[in-house]
Structure 1
């Protein structure tokens, strides 16, 4: 069942940054903070990382989840790690679990995707749910209040093979940047919330 939004927001244009740019981490952090603030009427923060450790290209999500978990983010629930990945087999079950445990949460979905040659290495952020499996022609349930995707390789032909043969180096660097940007942006948002609640 599709999750009904419980808050109104002003749409924010899709965002894209090349992970290799010098200021990419700072720019991504600032954008994520802005987007989280835009969804102000939520009670919890959930980072939902999709992918599998059995495919190099598709390991972006679990790598983000594992790195973020190691930072011990306060007030943030992380689903999908290298040890406990969220993939096609358990996706629907995990979505149901999250929606039951965190009914009024902001869910940020993270996944790898394939794209054009000139877009490889770009990190994208957009409003609305993520549609996992779309790049490999799979029909899977949607998840996310907004989503982050990392373009790890070229799409359009033999997607499974391409994902399996993606360089781990680029995936790890992108995962590191996404995890740190999520940590800093959510931490900043929650700190601001604590300040505003103690100001009265």
Structure 2
């Protein structure tokens, strides 16, 4: 869970109730991938112990049930990736999928007017920033779902976030990512470009700004 920071990112925002949102998100995700990517890993961060922070594992579970052939999924309701084991999973990904392109998925807090929007952007996200946790920045690109308003009493806000909204966002994300998975099985004529290096470093003390 993180307060969303627009700085230093090329971002696209998708209100979850907008028309054809899954298809639009699919196109944006594909546009952020390198040509002829190597391994592509989706790291779904969060925990089912908090409704607001369950977007990641819900998305991971729904995507895994669709049996992706080309995306490697980490973070489900059964085996969540969260603050206590994130570094372990990043090390495991580095070992199992060298030079992988990482798509990080997490819930975040933002402005009231942005609740229910999904943000897709290049570069890493900062898991746990909303709760002042010092965790590794994660992802070559990231997907952040704005599940509630931030600014105060974040722990209570997460606990009182509506499951209906989180589940709706997770379903659309899983659908979009499954379409991305299908696209990875389609041959491309263009020469491949080098995959960006895996982001795996401690975040700076730069202040975050809400959406």
Q: What's the TM-score once normalised by structure 1's chain length?
A: 0.87
How far residue 196 of structure 1 moved from its aligned partner, in angstroms, is: 9.1
Question: 1:42·1:104 contact (CA, 8 Å) conserved in 2?
Answer: no
> 1:47-88: CA deviations, max 9, x gaps?
000000100010000000000000000021100000000001
Give the 3-state SS of the residue equivalent to 1:46 in structure 2: strand
Aligned CA-pair RMSD: 2.0
Give the 3-state SS of the residue equivalent to 2:64 in structure 1: helix
Question: 2:59·2:174 contact (CA, 8 Å) conserved in 1?
Answer: yes
Alignment partner of 1:132 out of 127, 144, 147: 127
Greater RCO (Cα-Cα under 8 Å, separation 6 or more): 2
How far residue 42 of structure 1 moved from its aligned partner, in angstroms, is: 3.5
Rounded to whole Å, the distance in 2 between the matches of 1:115 and 1:40 is: 32
User: Which residue is equivalent to 1:16?
Assistant: 13
Structure 2: runs of 5+ lacking an equivalent: 1-7, 193-211
How far residue 189 of structure 1 moved from its aligned partner, in angstroms, is: 2.9
Question: 2:52·2:159 contact (CA, 8 Å) conserved in 1?
Answer: yes
Rounded to whole Å, the distance in 1 between the matches of 2:12 and 2:187 is: 23
Alignment partner of 2:40 out of 42, 45, 53: 45
Give the 3-state SS of the residue equivalent to 1:147 in structure 2: strand
Give the 3-state SS of the residue equivalent to 2:183 in structure 1: helix
Alignment partner of 1:30 out of 27, 30, 43: 27
Rounded to whole Å, the distance in 1 between the matches of 2:183 and 2:145 is: 23
Q: What's the TM-score once normalised by structure 2's chain length?
A: 0.83
Structure 1: runs of 5+ lacking an equivalent: 1-10
User: Which residue is equivalent to 1:8?
Assistant: none
Count of residues in Structure 1 that have an aligned counterpart in Structure 2:
185
